[in-house]
Amino acid sequence: MKELKDIPKDNPFRVPENYFEKLEGRIISATTDSQHKPAGKGVIRRLIPYLAIAASVALLSIIGYSVFYNGSGLHGSKMSPVITVNEFTETLLNDIDLMTLEDKVAESGILEGTTGVSKGDIIEYLISENIDITEIYENL
Amino acid sequence: MDLPRPDSDISKLLRTDPGGGFRIIVERYSRKLYWHIRRLVILHEDADDALQNTFVNAWRNLGSFRNDSSIYTWLYSIATNEALALINKRNRNSALSLDELGSYFATAAEGSSWFDGDEAQIVLQNAILSLPEKQRIVFNLRYYDDMPYEEMSRVLNTSVGALKASYHHAVKKVEDFVRNG
Model ipTM?
A: 0.78
Residue A85 lies in a domain: no
Contact B86, B43 (CB under 8 A): no
How near does any CA of chain B get to the CA of A127, in Å? 10
Provide, as residue numbers in chain B, all residues whose Cβ is less than 8 Å from the Cβ of A106.
159, 161-162
Provide, as residue numbers in chain B, all residues whose Cβ is less than 8 Å from the Cβ of A42.
64
* pLDDT confidence of residue B1: 45
Sign (positive/negative) of CA torsion B142, B145, B147, B153?
A: negative
Q: How many structural domains are present in chain A?
A: 2
Would you give the DSSP letter of residue B62? Answer: G
* pLDDT confidence of residue B48: 95
B75: nearest Cα among B32, B113, B19: B32
* pLDDT confidence of residue B35: 95
* pLDDT confidence of residue B77: 93
> What is the distance between the alpha carbons of residues B82 and B34, in angstroms, rounded to a whole number?
12
| B31 has a pLDDT exceeding 90 | yes
**Mean pLDDT throughout A89-95?**
57
Residue A108 lies in a domain: yes
| A8 has a pLDDT exceeding 90 | no
Residue A25 lies in a domain: no
Range of lowest pLDDT (A8-12, B1-5, B141-145, B175-179): B1-5
Would you give the DSSP letter of residue B4? Answer: P
* pLDDT confidence of residue B32: 93
Q: Is residue A115 exposed (0-12), middle (13-18) or buried (19+ Cβ within 10 Å)?
A: exposed
User: Do A101 and A73 have their domain in common?
Assistant: no
Length of chain A: 140
How many interchain CB pairs under 8 A, A with B? 133
Among B14, B15, B25, B26, pick the best mutation site for testing chain A contact (most A Cβ within 10 A).
B26
Domain that holds residue A50: 44-78
Residue A29 lies in a domain: no
> What is the distance between the alpha carbons of residues B146 and A131, in angstroms, rounded to a whole number?
31
Q: Between these two residues, A79 and A56, which has the higher pLDDT value?
A: A56
Range of lowest pLDDT (A11-15, A59-63, B75-79, B173-177): A59-63
| A35 has a pLDDT exceeding 90 | no
Residue A20 lies in a domain: no
Continuous segment of H or E residues that includes residue A62: helix A43-72
Provide, as residue numbers in chain A, all residues whose Cβ is less than 8 Å from the Cβ of B173.
none
Sign (positive/negative) of CA torsion A96, A102, A104, A110?
A: positive
Reported as a pLDDT band with limits 50, 70 and 90, residue A40 is very low
**Mean pLDDT throughout A51-70?**
80
How near does any CA of chain B get to the CA of A81, in Å? 31
Residue A9 lies in a domain: no
> What is the distance between the alpha carbons of residues B130 and B136, in angstroms, rounded to a whole number?
8
- Mark yes or no for CB contact A7/B34 under 8 Å: no
Helix (H, G, I), strand (E, B) or coil at A50: helix
Reported as a pLDDT band with limits 50, 70 and 90, residue A62 is confident
Provide, as residue numbers in chain B, all residues whose Cβ is less than 8 Å from the Cβ of A24.
26-27, 30
| B79 has a pLDDT exceeding 90 | yes
Helix (H, G, I), strand (E, B) or coil at B115: strand
